[in-house]
Amino acid sequence: MSYKAELVAVLGQPVAENPTGVMQEAAFAASGLNWRYLNLEVPPEQLANAVTGMRALGFKGFNLTIPHKVAVIPHLDALSMEAQLIGAVNTVRCENGRLIGENTDGKGFLRALRQDAGIDPAGKRVALLGAGGAARAIAAEMLLAGAAGLTVLNRGVERGQSMVEHLKQAASGDIGFIPWEGTFLVPSDADILVNATSVGLYPRGNAMPDISLAAAKQDLLVADVVFNPPVTALLKLARDRALPVLDGLSMLVYQGVIGFELWTGRQAPEVVMKSALRRALGVATA
**For residues 37-46, b (16+ Cβ closer than 10 Å) or e, as one string?**
bebbebeeee
Instruction: Report d(CA 144, CA 165) in Å as an integer.
Output: 16
What is the distance, to the nearest Å, from the Cα of residue 79 to the centroid of all Cα atoms in its chain? 17
- Is 41 within 8 Å of 66 (Cβ atoms)? no
What is the distance, to the nearest Å, from the Cα of residue 70 to the centroid of all Cα atoms in its chain? 13
Q: Which of 277, 267, 247 is nearest to 116 (CA)?
A: 247
Task: Mark whether 69 is an active-site residue.
Answer: yes
Instruction: Report d(CA 138, CA 216) in Å as an integer.
Output: 21
Output phi, psi for 100, to 5 deg: -110, 120
From 69, 107, 124, 274, active-site residue: 69
Peptide bond into 67 cis (omega under 30): yes
Question: 90: how many CB neighbours lie within 10 A of its CB?
Answer: 27
Please compute Rg for the chain using Cα positions: 18
Q: How many residues does the chain have?
A: 286
Residues with Cβ < 8 Å from 202, sequence gap 6 or more?
17, 228, 229
Peptide bond into 229 cis (omega under 30): yes
Catalytic residues: 69
